Structure 1
Amino acid sequence: MTVLDLNCDVAEGFGAWRIADDDALLTVVTGANIACGFHAGDPSAMRRACVGAVRHGVAIGAHVGYRDLAGFGRRFLDVDPAELTDDVLYQLGALAAFATAAGGRIGYVKPHGALYGAIGSNDGQAGAVVEAVRQFDPSLPVLGMPGSRWLAQAAAAGLPTVPEAFADRAYLPDGRLVPRRSPGAVLTDPAAVASRVVRLVTAGEVEAADGSVLPMHARSVCVHGDTPGAVQLARAARAALVGAGAAVRSFV
């Protein structure tokens, strides 16, 4: 039986502003990518998400990003690698405090947004994030794009690696994601999301935006918390995975 994790971004509001229905999402997913305060989130949001994750038996993931609240972490920052290592280590430490207070622990690390994209090909930044995780806890699994420099460097450093696919994002023919500002970059139709994950689990492939077929080995599937209708999309993805014969559970 194919086993797949279903992860989603949570705690991405700030202060009085909420991005998604985190409480509902935590009843559906098996992994919660919790914003650590740099691209989004604040201490109270992080605590609530950790408490909710522990309550529902959901794995806690550190969703680390660039120090870019105004840009939601979706703008590339040419950060010095040593500084980036410190920034990521800082975020891991902050989330670890709230996870421990909630009776849980950090189970994995998944970079966010522009940082996730940059470390796909930028060896300097990929190495900086790998170093932060290695110093914090070298047993932590890390999520990333199949074939990325990030996963390659993580594996070389002895970190457990987990390739993931995206249920709600369009792909380019080379396997990268379609830029968010391009038409059709984000999938918001539950039927389209369900079809994507069924093809992933039954055929090990996804269809790119131009109709070409990409082989795709993944152990986790992501739905973004800020995608419109995220709760419905996550439910559709989980139901489709189960209907296709997959076991939906965390890799942690």
Structure 2
Amino acid sequence: MTSIDLNSDVGESFGRWTLGDDAAMFSSVSSANVACGFHAGDPSVIRRTCRNAAEAGVVIGAHVGYRDLAGFGRRFLDISPSELADDVVYQIGALQALAAAEGTKVQYVKPHGGLYNAIVSHTDQARAVVDAVKSVDPGLPIMGLPGSEVLRLAEEAGLRAVTEAFADRAYNPDGTLVSRTQPGAVLHDPAEVAEHVLRMATEQSVRTIDGSILKIRAESICVHGDSPGAVAMATAVKSALADAGISIGAFA
């Protein structure tokens, strides 16, 4: 592998509440998952994030999630597929308008948090997300976990399915992410995170929570923008990849 996409969740501030240092993250990543207002973000934050991403040459994706500001979109919501599909369409449309106002555009969709984890196996909700994206623009790729229902259904629907790995998250042996409620679920040490990513990029594998090695092939690797020390981790990852002769470039 000579090139890999690095993505980060951004635009997650709200009103007077600031989360993450998006401007600093843009110096390390190639794709930006912009919150669309349902789990985080407001119109002014979203528009500013689109502007800053465009100025940095970073590709914009719609980070769609459950309508759950209080829970930051990390809780599962048992809503109907039709309601979920409408919510996803609404979020993509909002981001498309604000991106267009800044002379840029939405180039992919990545579900967030609770929704992202649910559609690894929840077929009805996964289909709702795929149907929503296809109804807005069948040219928009969907990003998700390798082996997930949403990517399987995306491919069946003729959409591009983009596999993703996580720089700062621990993995279970079955390829799912360790729940954030469990100790060790989130990695914080920049050196450990860089090693984690290098193994993904050079060996297409990851060391799981029990020490076993899992084969994983990813087109994009996520460094969460809201994690403590996120900028340091992203910088370490970028440097480690450069030292290994691997460049950073958007998949979209």
TM-score tier after normalising by the smaller chain length: over 0.9
Give the drift of 1:42: 0.4
**CA offsets, 1:4-24, max 9 Å, x none?**
100000011111001101111
Aligned to 1:241: 241
Distance 2:242 2:160 in 1: 26
Matched, 1:10 2:10: yes
Give the drift of 1:2: 2.7
Distance 2:240 2:107 in 1: 25
Name stretches of at least 5 consecutive residues in structure 2 with no aligned partner.
Answer: none
**CA offsets, 1:80-132, max 9 Å, x none?**
00000000000000000011011100011000000000000000000000011
Give the drift of 1:218: 0.5
Residues 241-250 or 15-24, more deviating = 241-250
**CA offsets, 1:122-177, max 9 Å, x none?**
00000000011000100111110000001000010011111010000000111100
Describe how 1:89-128 pairs up with structure 2 within 5 A: 89-128=89-128
Give the drift of 1:55: 0.2
**SS of equivalent residue, structure 2 residue 117:** helix
Aligned to 1:71: 71
Distance 1:27 1:101 in 2: 23
Distance 1:129 1:206 in 2: 28
Matched, 1:174 2:174: yes
Distance 2:240 2:220 in 1: 14
**CA offsets, 1:194-252, max 9 Å, x none?**
10011111111000010011101001000111111111111111111222221210011
**SS of equivalent residue, structure 2 residue 37:** coil
**SS of equivalent residue, structure 1 residue 214:** strand
Q: Is the 8 A contact 1:201 1:244 kept in 2?
A: no
Distance 1:50 1:155 in 2: 28
Q: Is the 8 A contact 1:3 1:246 kept in 2?
A: yes
Aligned to 1:131: 131
Aligned to 1:207: 207
Runs of 4+ in 1 over 3 A off after TM superposition: none
Number of equivalenced pairs: 252
Residues 36-45 or 23-32, more deviating = 23-32
Aligned to 1:47: 47
Distance 1:142 1:242 in 2: 27
Give the drift of 1:76: 0.1
Distance 2:100 2:213 in 1: 43
Distance 1:30 1:61 in 2: 11
Describe how 1:72-87 pairs up with structure 2 within 5 A: 72-87=72-87
Distance 2:161 2:236 in 1: 26
